[in-house]
Structure 1
């Protein structure tokens, strides 16, 4: 009929609908989300603000805004229909987060995290959803914990040196630990341990063995790898605290083995000589005993001889006396021996 509208063929209807849908979808998704290019760094225990901006600028009051970390649900914070949706929030962020939407009409919002903890460190995603369209941006939050001032003390002499200990707590992330001398040269530590406490903060213990008396003092330095700030402590190492090593002790330690060998050999030679001497003394004693016995026997024989000679001399003397008496008194002699039939001459004989 003339004047009635012309209906396009069915084959042309589908491409036309797709074209219209694409145009509507393209118009609805014509936005992007921008965030800071550099990580946001905050001190432990302070508040962190993570900004998020629609581009081009437009109202986000009717949009679904979600802040999340590794997964969409549960989220760090969800804003929808003009209010925060607490039922889908991660328990560790309850009471510590809020959305700053003072410029929400221009698409500028921000997530505020109060009393930042070590566990808050990491990547966050800011997502805007409008109907079937969503765009997001990732923002990195860096948490910095500057620990306590190092505690440094000596533990006394050890292995011809002095061991120095250094400890500190409350660092995040893992800090760099360094020993230095007064001119800035690095000293290699003997041991180092870094452990996490229940709050996720690092506790550091390190030790250094100083054997060079000329160093004088050492510095324990602990530095945060994100912020170029360090905390350090110096300690003086007086020379009297070093163990003394006298030259004669060193020399004695070198020659002591030789002395021990010489002493052992000398002791053995002395023992052998003593054994020979004892055998000689025994032999000599035996000979001396035999000689003494011979002397005593000879002495006894001489005494017996002398006694016999004395007795003989005595008898001779008596004999001479009797003879004289017989010559002087012949009558007496005859009278004494007359009865026996003997004369003085026979008696004298």
Structure 2
């Protein structure tokens, strides 16, 4: 019976593995998955509680001596309501496993199966990974992240700006720009947003005239050992236009810097000439003025 259960689990999930003593289960988005939990005695009259770890614990499924979330118990989290069931005919063999239907990205995470009243408390840990499956135009599965979209965003004085976008990736990937020689290029800080458990990421870089006009945006998910990329070729004319613009502006600035000192020197010389002319004119006017008449008082003093 246990062998049958594990074969059934493998057929539903895609893979089952061990990590640090915990079960790790992977399943494609939209399929069903069984989270295994069992002990060596009947659980028909026992209490077991399934919860999902996160910012706060979420109630997934609780069974208490015949009562459970599907027949009267309350407080099940809205995320799992109507999608979780157990195996009543297997409970006498100690099977407390649950089945989650129509898995979603947000179902990914760490789960605990807890028996609080057995042997002072027993807890089993299971990690679930729900993998979104993307398909290319031919309908073939292309991995856990769609191929990135690469475009020319703008042409500026600094060079040609390239933009790489990834929509709806999970888990969160890393993006980087490379040239055709495999060199990693400097890029701006990535813009990252998250919605419904999926990541939307944009990464921009500015390229200048180099030995290559081919550039590649690489998207990597290290946890899955998965990588995909898209390549864009930049016309040499864009580099020429950018460089020409910079060169023209540089020439104008250079001319301005060369003309300004000459103009300033000429202005000083003109000012000096005007000042000398003014001084000479003032002196000449003084020389042409008639001498003042001696006072009568001075003349009478000699009589």
Q: Give the TM-score category using the shorter length.
A: 0.5 to 0.7
Question: Which structure has the highest helix share of the two?
Answer: 1
Aligned partner of 2:78 in structure 1 is: 91
Q: By how many angstroms is 1:257 displaced?
A: 1.2
Do residues 193 (structure 1) and 180 (structure 2) align? no
Aligned partner of 2:63 in structure 1 is: 79
Question: Which structure has the highest strand share of the two?
Answer: 2
Q: By how many angstroms is 1:208 displaced?
A: 0.6
Cα distance in 2 between the residues matched to 1:66 and 1:144: 25
Cα distance in 2 between the residues matched to 1:125 and 1:156: 50
Do residues 231 (structure 1) and 214 (structure 2) align? no
Cα distance in 1 between the residues matched to 2:82 and 2:145: 26
Cα distance in 2 between the residues matched to 1:153 and 1:73: 42
Tell whether the 8 Å contact from 2:35 to 2:126 is kept in structure 1 after alignment. yes
Q: Which of 83, 91, 112 is 1:125 aligned to?
A: 112
Aligned partner of 1:49 in structure 2 is: 34
Q: By how many angstroms is 1:270 displaced?
A: 7.1
Tell whether the 8 Å contact from 2:176 to 2:217 is kept in structure 1 after alignment. yes
Aligned partner of 1:262 in structure 2 is: 262
Q: Which of 158, 161, 176 is 1:160 aligned to?
A: 158
Q: Which of 148, 151, 156 is 2:149 aligned to?
A: 151
The 1:180/1:114 distance shift into structure 2, 3 A limit, reads farther
Aligned partner of 1:210 in structure 2 is: 207
Does the residue aligned with 2:223 lie in a helix, a strand or coil? coil
Does the residue aligned with 2:37 lie in a helix, a strand or coil? strand
Root-mean-square deviation (Å)? 3.7
Cα distance in 2 between the residues matched to 1:131 and 1:51: 18
The 1:241/1:73 distance shift into structure 2, 3 A limit, reads closer
Higher alpha-carbon Rg: 1
Aligned partner of 2:170 in structure 1 is: 172
Tell whether the 8 Å contact from 1:51 to 1:109 is kept in structure 2 after alignment. yes
Does the residue aligned with 1:213 lie in a helix, a strand or coil? coil
- Give CA-to-partner distance per residue, 1:65-114, whole Å, 9 cap, x none: 32123599973112344564332322221111122466444324422222
The 1:261/1:63 distance shift into structure 2, 3 A limit, reads same
The 1:169/1:261 distance shift into structure 2, 3 A limit, reads same
Q: By how many angstroms is 1:60 displaced?
A: 3.3
Cα distance in 2 between the residues matched to 1:170 and 1:176: 13
Q: By how many angstroms is 1:235 displaced?
A: 0.7
Which sections of structure 1, spanning at least 5 residues, go unmatched? Answer: 1-34, 278-349
Is 72-81 or 112-121 further displaced after alignment? Answer: 72-81
Tell whether the 8 Å contact from 2:22 to 2:125 is kept in structure 1 after alignment. no
Q: By how many angstroms is 1:174 displaced?
A: 2.6
Aligned partner of 1:244 in structure 2 is: 243
* TM-score of the two chains, using structure 1 as the length reference: 0.57
Cα distance in 2 between the residues matched to 1:70 and 1:200: 15
Cα distance in 2 between the residues matched to 1:158 and 1:74: 50
Q: By how many angstroms is 1:209 displaced?
A: 0.8
Which sections of structure 2, spanning at least 5 residues, go unmatched? Answer: 1-19, 133-143, 278-303
Which residues in structure 2 correspond to 1:26-41 (within 5 Å)? 37-41=22-26
Tell whether the 8 Å contact from 1:191 to 1:208 is kept in structure 2 after alignment. no
Q: By how many angstroms is 1:150 displaced?
A: 1.6
* TM-score of the two chains, using structure 2 as the length reference: 0.65
Aligned partner of 1:346 in structure 2 is: none
